[in-house]
């Protein structure tokens, strides 16, 4: 059976219930324990909810970049299992607060359009709370189908939305040893 080299991956991290900083640090550890190798976590950013119900608390957002040996669908399943372990129901509204939100945003240079998974994430280019932490770790990553790097997408979105979209939060997971 041929062996394939691990694929670079980027996973968006978010939480706004309980202790989000601790939850995100533990989720990163769990993903690494289950096969995300060479993991590097961004700083966390405190951001206002996007597309959520009024009164939803702010989110802590970050990104984990690493490598994955399996398929994109297998990584999606792992992310969903970790979300469930941290209390997120499998059936949920995108407008609700959440203990943990993990989104597979990039899977190498692949473009996937599967009923369960679209990669790159369809709203990646308009989400500063994903682009900013991703740019810390992988500014030159060419986002498949966009013709632009992460850094270029971030600059474009900052021009449109302005720099006051969120605040850097000091704490795990990017600050871990």
How confident is the model over 20-29, as a mean pLDDT?
A: 96
According to the model, what pLDDT value does residue 97 have?
Answer: 77
d(CA 47, CA 36): 26
Convert the pLDDT of each residue in 115-127 to its tens digit. Answer: 999 999 999 998 9
**pTM, two decimal places:** 0.89
Convert the pLDDT of each residue in 29-63 to its tens digit. Answer: 999 999 999 999 999 999 888 777 778 888 999 99
Domains of the chain, first to last = 7-124 (3.30.70.560)
For the chain, the average pLDDT equals: 87
> Which residue do the tokens 């994109």 mark?
72
Q: Is the pLDDT of residue 67 over 80?
A: yes
Q: Is the Cα dihedral 120, 78, 8, 44 positive or negative?
A: positive
């Amino acid at each position: 059976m041929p062996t394939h080299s691990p694929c670079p991956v980027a996973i968006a991290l978010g939480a706004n219930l309980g202790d989000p900083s601790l939850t995100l640090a533990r989720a990163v550890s769990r993903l690494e324990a289950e096969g995300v190798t060479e993991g590097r976590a961004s700083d966390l950013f405190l951001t206002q909810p996007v597309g959520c119900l009024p009164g939803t608390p702010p989110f802590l957002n970050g990104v984990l970049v690493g490598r994955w040996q399996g398929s994109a669908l297998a990584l999606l399943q792992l992310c969903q299992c970790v979300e469930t372990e941290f209390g997120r129901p499998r059936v949920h509204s995108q407008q609700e607060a959440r203990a943990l939100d993990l989104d597979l945003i990039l899977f190498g240079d692949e473009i996937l359009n599967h009923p369960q998974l679209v990669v790159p994430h369809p709203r990646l280019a308009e989400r500063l709370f994903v682009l900013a932490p991703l740019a810390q770790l992988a500014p030159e990553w060419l986002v498949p189908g966009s013709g632009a790097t992460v850094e270029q997408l971030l600059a474009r979105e900052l021009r449109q939305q302005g720099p006051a979209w969120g605040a850097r939060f000091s704490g795990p997971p990017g600050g871990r040893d």
